[in-house]
Structure 1
Amino acid sequence: MSSDYRNIYQIAREASGFTQEKSAELIDISVESLRAYEGGKRTPPDKIVIKMIEIYDARYLAYQHLKTSAEVGQTYLPTIELKDLPTAILRLLKEVNDFITCKDELINITCDGVISEDEKERWNLILKELEDVERAILTIKFVK
């Protein structure tokens, strides 16, 4: 690992303006433990990450922690990129418009309560549009 490696815990701490010493004191852990978390040698337990989120005022850290440290997060949470508010809003509007174009087809496919084999391919494309909307919403939720 290079000496300029910075992981999610270190980035959140630095963005909040805390030193390792002050953070460790506020989180109620040793500086050595914090260094191990920030150096990628150990993954902090959820209760420590919760304290980091609260102290650093970094809600996005919760998402990043689940996405990087838990198999369920790696498997099921969409990857999102932090953006500025105007860009995030424009992305959401674009994704909502894309979804609206397939809204009538969604109704047609699902109105009988069954997705037939013939409808599955189109259904999967509609789900992809919904996932794009979900990702755009999450981006807005974590905008700085």
Structure 2
Amino acid sequence: MGRKSTRENKTIYQKLREENDLTREKAAELLEFISEDRLERIENEKSEPAPEDVIRMAEVYKAPELCNYYCSHECPIGRKYVPPIEMTELPAIILETVASLNAVYPLTNRLIEISRDGQISEDESPDFSNIQENLEKVSLAIEALQLWVEKEVQKADS
């Protein structure tokens, strides 16, 4: 095996490779179409990974959260439209999901009132914005749960 990096500010790509106890040489072999040199450039931020590189790394490193990281931090479109998902433990994810669902439940009647005529009036707009923010929290909690499940399934399959 190669020597361990002592670099302090490691990129997520390097951290995940090392968490899987892979040298760059072994990782490049498993990644198939990413050379060891290219992997080093990506890890040292001298080259940006292509989306297909990230997808393959996520598969090999058993880290589906890597795709969310790439989309929310590095992809120009994703930075605008894809919120970052924080990977936490299952109990925290479940509590966040339940809390966000509980916050939305009392707002459902107001959402029905607002949407009944198919238009959002000026006086309804603040309530609608509040409902939208709460629905976004539900969406983020569900995305975190889906990533957690995907990660656990990948662990179980290996």
Same fold? TM cut 0.5:
yes
Q: Percent identity?
A: 36
Of residues 22, 30, 33 in structure 1, which corresponds to 2:35?
A: 30
Once the 2 structures are TM-superposed, how far is the Cα of residue 17 of structure 1 from its aligned partner? 2.5
Gaps of 5+ in 1: none
Deviates more, 1:90-99 or 1:44-53: 44-53
Instruction: Calculate the TM-score normalised by the size of structure 1.
Output: 0.91
2:88 maps to 1:83:
yes
Q: Which residue of 2 aligns with 1:16?
A: 20
Q: Aligned residue pairs: how many?
A: 143
Q: Secondary structure at the match of 1:142?
A: helix
2: CA distance between counterparts of 1:72 and 1:81?
19
Gaps of 5+ in 2: 1-5, 152-158
Higher RCO (CA 8 Å, separation ≥ 6 residues): 1
Q: Secondary structure at the match of 2:98?
A: helix
User: Runs (4+) of structure 1 moved beyond 6 Å?
Assistant: none
Instruction: Calculate the TM-score normalised by the size of structure 2.
Output: 0.84
For 1:29-108, list aligned pairs within 5 A. 29-108=34-113
